[in-house]
Amino acid sequence: MAKIVRINMTKKEVLVEAVPEKYFMLGGRGLTSQVILDEVDPLCHPLGKNNKLVIASGLLTGTTAPSSGRISIGAKSPLTGGIKESNAGGTVSRKLARLGIKAIIVEGQPEEKEMYIVKIDKNEIVLLPASGLENMGNYDTVKYLKKVHGNDVGVVSIGQAGEMLLSIASIAVTDMEGLPTRHCGRGGLGAVMGSKGIKAIVVDDEGASEQLLEIKDKEGFTAIGRNLAKTLIETKVGLKNFGTASLVDPVAAIGALPSRNYSSGDFAGKEKINGQALQNFILEKGGKYGHSCSPGCVIRCSNVVHNKDGEYLTSGLEYETLGLCGSNLEIDDLNVIGTISFKCDDYGIDTMETGVAIGIAMEAGVLTFGNGDEAIKLIDEIAEGTTLGKVLGQGATVTGKVLGVKRIPAVKGQAFAAYDPRAMKGNAYTYATTPMGADHTAGNALPGRGAWVGPVDPNKKDNYQEASRDLQIFATVLDVMGFCNFVGISPVEGEIIAQLLSKVTGEEYTLDDVKEIGMKTIKCEIKFNRLAGFTKADDRLPEFINEELLPPKNLKNDITDQEFDEVFNL
């Protein structure tokens, strides 16, 4: 029987609860957001005892559907002050599903600073003291926990940053190799986990074989999943060969690749960090491309990167990191960007928020654009807890305020992803209107995406209002299901999901029903944010996006307030 695990860190008490019926058909982001709306005071301090950290497998995680193993983590965000969900691949989601755990709700907090390990296996869920792990990075933490609890466990953990309650702290999830490389990066959820006094959650699914989701027509479901897998394998060859780094060229081509703290949309060194360059680097130094980040993923866009000396450097070197810690900082050295990626993963900080914050510090003259050594040193300062490190640790918006930089590329207090919205109008809509802050995964209008609503030239706003709305809805559906974003955010995949859900329930699901699932979650998130004090004034891009022309295409924002408000009309 599917269950919810409720961990009260004030009382150090673990309760196992039945799943309320209203949560049966929710999973992932749909479930985390609904629990937060149901249980969290929108005005609570994000790092206080009244916030809750909710961890949920996708609705389809553990089934035969391909690429459905993502794990969603949600809370009121210390970065945005609003609701937040951030999801990652890795092995833990499927392990939780096999243990029949639909969600973990962590509430309360220890009176004094104490850190614990939550150990979950098929027999029990216990809290163990995290003695000896204090102030330890994710890599060593996971290494230690695997030594104690077995090599096959999955681990959700925080590094130094989460313990330090930094608003850029991420939550790491172990990957297929058992390394803490998959991160729920955005929104400072690592700080919420730290504030609860939890250093790591160790999940051992040995001997477990529960089925989270009851499927009425298993054979029919598996057949549809198999077809989907076949399509994904056939169509995502570019991602398999070049990873998300394959985005560098097309994003630069439309003039949206951030450079020099979002003062340019192109970068002279782009060919040193693009998909081909990364593939060459991997072929030369060792490592791997075409690598799955979670079990059952057939897209295999991930990679393992070795350093210039041929030793393990980092895993999952992604476009967002290349864009925000590379081109945005004018750094074109893959060895340096890989080092940044590793350190961010180890300290447990979001590479995206970190890259943007460093770009702001560079604009302020604290360090120099293009200087990788200085950037690495500054990242070390974050973990060391110097005053400057603490400033960066609060993210781009606070860094800009403290260092006196007005060009702060952020919405709702969260930094832009690696697409300048002046040259990518679809993401202008998405950044401004998603309840999540300037996320790309909330509805990434990549070149070509959204074409079902009509012609979509990324530089022109034309059809992007409707396209962004659709993309946001479909992206949310994927997040609910536990599907990876690359399964596809379009009506085509929406139809497939409708078919899958029909097989699950034995009832006919239409595309509209599927869209309704996405919209229901978005509405729930907007409701929370409104109660937390957000208004339409928060659904706006920063002033410089309206005023400064972005070279090389010399574009600025031309979407009106009304057009932003019409995306959801809520």
Interface residues with a copy of itself (CB under 8 A) are: 42-45, 47-48, 50, 164-165, 167, 386-388, 390-391, 393-394, 398, 401-404, 406, 530-535, 537-538, 540, 542-544
Give the residue with the Cβ less far from a copy of itself, 164 or 317.
164
Query: Is the Cβ of residue 47 or residue 445 nearer to a copy of itself in the bound state?
Result: 47
* Complex with a copy of itself: residue 260 or 390, whichever CB lies closer: 390
Shorter beta-carbon distance to a copy of itself: residue 516 or 548: 548
As a whole number of angstroms, the distance between CA 409 and CA 352 comes to 12
Q: Which is nearer to a copy of itself, 394 or 472 (CB)?
A: 394
* Among 29, 2, 14, 130, residue whose Cα is nearest residue 439: 29
CA 487 distance to own-chain centroid: 15
**DSSP single-letter state for residue 66:** T
Nearest distance from residue 51's CB to a copy of itself, in Å?
A: 10
Q: How far is the CB of 403 from a copy of itself (least distance, A)?
A: 7
> Minimum distance between the CB of residue 73 and a copy of itself, rounded to whole angstroms?
21
Q: What is the nearest approach in angstroms of a copy of itself to the Cβ of residue 163? A: 11
Shortest Å distance, C-beta 131 to a copy of itself: 22
Least distance to a copy of itself from the beta carbon of 539, Å?
A: 9
Rounded Cα–Cα distance for residues 124 and 248 (Å):
46
**Sheet containing strand 101-107, strands side by side:** 13-18, 3-8, 101-107, 53-57, 71-76, 83-88
**Least distance from a copy of itself to the Cβ atom of residue 542, Å:** 8
Angle formed at CA 19 by CA 16 and CA 21, multiple of 5 degrees: 160
Q: What letter represents residue 356's amino acid? A: V
Ordered alpha helix ranges (H), 185-217 = 189-195
- Is residue 328 within 8 A of residue 356, CB to CB? The reply is yes
Of 316 and 395, nearer to a copy of itself (C-beta) is: 395
In whole angstroms, the minimum distance from the beta carbon of 399 to a copy of itself comes to 10
Take residue 469 and report the two structure tokens written for it.
Answer: 């709305």
Per-residue 3-state assignment (H helix, E strand, C coil) for 35-49: HHHHHCCCCCCCCCC
Nearer to a copy of itself, 14 or 44 (CB): 44
Smallest separation (angstroms) from a copy of itself to the CB of 269: 29
SS3 189: helix
Q: Supply the DSSP symbol for 19.
A: P
Helix ranges (DSSP H) in 119-217: 138-149, 160-163, 189-195
Nearer to a copy of itself, 169 or 487 (CB): 169
Return the amino acid letter for 298.
Answer: V
CB-wise, 50 or 459, nearer to a copy of itself? 50
Helix (H, G, I), strand (E, B) or coil at 249: helix
- Rounded CA-CA distance 484/362 in Å is 34
C-alpha–C-alpha distance, residues 154 and 57, integer Å: 13
Which structure tokens are listed for 237?
């060859």
